[in-house]
Structure 1
Amino acid sequence: MRESATSGYPIADFHCDVLWKLLKHEELSFDDRSESQIDVTPGRLHASQAILQTFAVFISPRMTSQAAVWKSVDLFYEHVLSNPKMHLIRTAADIDYAVHHGQTGALLSLEGVDGLYGDFSMLRLLYHLGLRAVGLTWNHANWAADGVLEPRQGGLTARGAQFVDECERLGIILDVSHLTEQGFWELADRVKRPFIASHSNAKSLCPHARNLADDQIKALIAIDGRIGITYVPYFVKEDGNATITDVLRHIEHVAALGGAKQLMLGSDFDGIEQYVQSLRHPADVPKLVEAMLRVFPEQVVTDITSGNAIRYLKEQLPTA
């Protein structure tokens, strides 16, 4: 049997919202029986040759509470990590272990710190449970910073700046995907370690508030941060009627700015109700790989699908 053209391109995805769906719908499970309601399932991850999947803890502004954060982490352990095909990523060595044993690495992130209520001890406890990446906001303002849809478009609060410092001290990756431009530049001026935009596209191609301006993209490239191209259709194309070719345009744009080594993938599966045509779940991602192979050399495609993300994690995660 001839192998497919994409068989040698393992996938690392830096954002999905499976935990949010499990939190909202207690009847669901992280298994292939739920694939009609969940985008990211073990079978689909296997079909896409996923070597890393980031699982975001997201709490709706209408239900923000510390209890909901803890419940989401419990769901991560009880549903995701209980699956023998998944392996918790805490350290750089965990990545090698997962790859060697044919497992998908599971990285825990926090999308918006609303539910922490400024409690740094909670952050430290979450770190001990495996939290390795944090976005300060979702789309609106909270105690730490303004999100991209907040009308005043402010930056970090005083407590938020202290929180950034604590993340830096712990070695937690900072994620600016939902942060205002003002907040982006304030964070950039404050931190020493390279940060990421886990699921954002290029604003010059699609002028959505959640996308990055070219100067932001260039700043991330300059510090060897990462930009996760996302499949949210209205972040890909202004009218939302997006195709894989449209996603490819964003990849090409970042690469043209010098970011071929900083590109990665950040699907936002399970956080969306509309989809890019033919890109509805992880098992469809090889179609995007095929599109990339038509315009990029194989090594560049390997870097974008997983190499850049894995290299970044091995440099930024603790060694033990």
Structure 2
Amino acid sequence: MILNSGDTALNTFPLIFDGHNDVLSKLASTGGVSEAGQFLSGLEGAIDLVKSKEGGFGGGFFAVWVPSPMDVDAKMEEMVQPRYDLPLPDQIDAEDAFPAALSQIAILLELERLGALSVARSVADIRDCLAQGRMAAIFHIEGAEAIDADLHSLDVFHAAGLRSLGPVWSRPNIFGHGVPFRYPSGPDTGPGLTDYGLRLVQRCNALGIMLDLSHLNEKGFWDVARYSDAPLVATHSNAHAICPHARNLTDDQLRTIAESDGMVGLNFAAAFLREDGRMLSDVPLTQVLKHLDHLIGILGEDRVGLGSDYDGAVVPDDVTDVAMLPRLRDAMETHGYGEELIKKLCHENWLRVLEKTWGS
């Protein structure tokens, strides 16, 4: 097991580097930059500095996500039904999305200024943070609504530290089409990438920005697979063979990710774990392990990690926040995963694919 600092908890298990969280949009909705300091002392939610030290959470992908006007309670009520098909939210124009994205980027930079985390621009940065017990954050954008058609803002965001981008969330934009929250359903739910989307893929490849396939529909997935020269990565998606939700990946998609030497981060969202597709939190960790087994069976031990969706989804009762992550590590060990595999799942596989994508 790795050693990280004088903190006893950090010395007993490998730190987790996670593929997706929504703490920035959560902070933006509860006060913005002025509330960033609460991240250090403790927040009502899944991730903060106190819980992270307790649970051995070393950091991950911090998503900038522009919310759609919606009744979240009504959405959650729909998603506990045996079947549901939520309509895709309306498209958001760049001039409306841009200030919302900037507000969340400002929160991320304020967290860095306060010493809560470091924004990582290379794998060496992440390894340094893990070794010193300092949280590492990848600046990630989930849904490219804030990026203009000429991609000028993409270059600016990259200069500010952007290293990972999901072209769409579950709504359309000028670049492509997201999958709806629909159960049961396959991911083939609409057209593929637009011409703007193909140019976005090309520019991200040139800049070394990782492309995230989570939320992208199946035709868009195959477009990225065809035109991208980087490993294919889904930061927070699960196995459609176990849970036939539109958000999950088919075995054909998983095999294509494996052939590209890419990666999938397992999503903790209950609706994408449960075989009945319901967003209910009574999900045993054995169900999490069932998805991990399936992903490892197709992708191999070097191409699977975690992508929790913390602070953005209903998650299993046993791992409602990062302080409870030792329960998942213990479940992996009890399940028969060896120490080396657990370390790969916790963080080493993310570092491998990022180094291959970023080049450093």
> Structures share a fold, TM > 0.5?
yes
Decide whether the 8 Å contact of 1:145 with 1:160 is kept in 2: yes
Corresponding residue to 2:131 among 100, 116, 119: 100
**Equivalent residue, structure 2, for 1:172:** 209
How far 1:22 moved relative to its partner? 1.3
Decide whether the 8 Å contact of 1:248 with 1:288 is kept in 2: no
How far 1:34 moved relative to its partner? 4.3
- 1:305 lines up with 2:337 in the alignment: no
The SS at the match of 1:126 is helix
RMSD: 2.0
Decide whether the 8 Å contact of 1:244 with 1:277 is kept in 2: no
**Equivalent residue, structure 1, for 2:68:** 61
Aligned 1:127-276 pairs, distance under 5 A: 127-149=158-180, 153-237=190-274, 238-239=277-278, 240=280, 241-272=282-313, 274-276=314-316
The SS at the match of 1:132 is strand
Decide whether the 8 Å contact of 2:41 with 2:50 is kept in 1: no
Q: How far apart in 1 are the matches of 2:311 and 2:343?
A: 25
Q: How far apart in 2 are the matches of 1:275 and 1:110?
A: 22
How far 1:58 moved relative to its partner? 0.2
Decide whether the 8 Å contact of 2:9 with 2:55 is kept in 1: no
Corresponding residue to 1:22 among 22, 27, 46: 27
Decide whether the 8 Å contact of 2:52 with 2:322 is kept in 1: yes
How far 1:318 moved relative to its partner? 4.6
How far 1:166 moved relative to its partner? 0.6
How far 1:301 moved relative to its partner? 1.1
**Equivalent residue, structure 2, for 1:287:** 327
- What amino acid maps onto 2:333 in structure 1? L
Deviations 1:222-271 (A, max 9, x none): 11111000110011002334221111110011112242210011110011
**Equivalent residue, structure 2, for 1:50:** 57
Q: How far apart in 1 are the matches of 2:104 and 2:151?
A: 18
Q: How far apart in 1 are the matches of 2:237 and 2:253?
A: 11
% identical equivalent positions: 29
Query: TM-score scaled by structure 2?
Result: 0.82
- What amino acid maps onto 1:35 in structure 2? L
Q: For residues 56 and 174 of structure 1, do their structure 2 counterparts lie closer, same or farther at Cα, with a shift above 3 Å needed?
A: same
Q: How far apart in 2 are the matches of 1:284 and 1:278?
A: 7
Q: How far apart in 2 are the matches of 1:4 and 1:105?
A: 18
**Equivalent residue, structure 2, for 1:12:** 17
Q: How far apart in 2 are the matches of 1:315 and 1:189?
A: 18
**Equivalent residue, structure 2, for 1:31:** 39
- What amino acid maps onto 1:256 in structure 2? G
Would you say how many aligned residue pairs link Structure 1 and Structure 2?
314
Q: How far apart in 1 are the matches of 2:127 and 2:170?
A: 35
Q: How far apart in 2 are the matches of 1:127 and 1:135?
A: 14
- 1:314 lines up with 2:351 in the alignment: no
Deviations 1:101-138 (A, max 9, x none): 32121111000011223241100000011110000111
Query: TM-score scaled by structure 1?
Result: 0.92
Which runs of 5 or more residues in structure 2 are unaligned?
Answer: 1-7, 70-91, 182-187
Which runs of 5 or more residues in structure 1 are unaligned?
Answer: none
How far 1:219 moved relative to its partner? 1.0
How far 1:144 moved relative to its partner? 0.3
**Equivalent residue, structure 2, for 1:75:** 107
Q: How far apart in 2 are the matches of 1:147 and 1:250?
A: 22
Q: How far apart in 1 are the matches of 2:333 and 2:258?
A: 22
Q: How far apart in 2 are the matches of 1:25 and 1:191?
A: 37
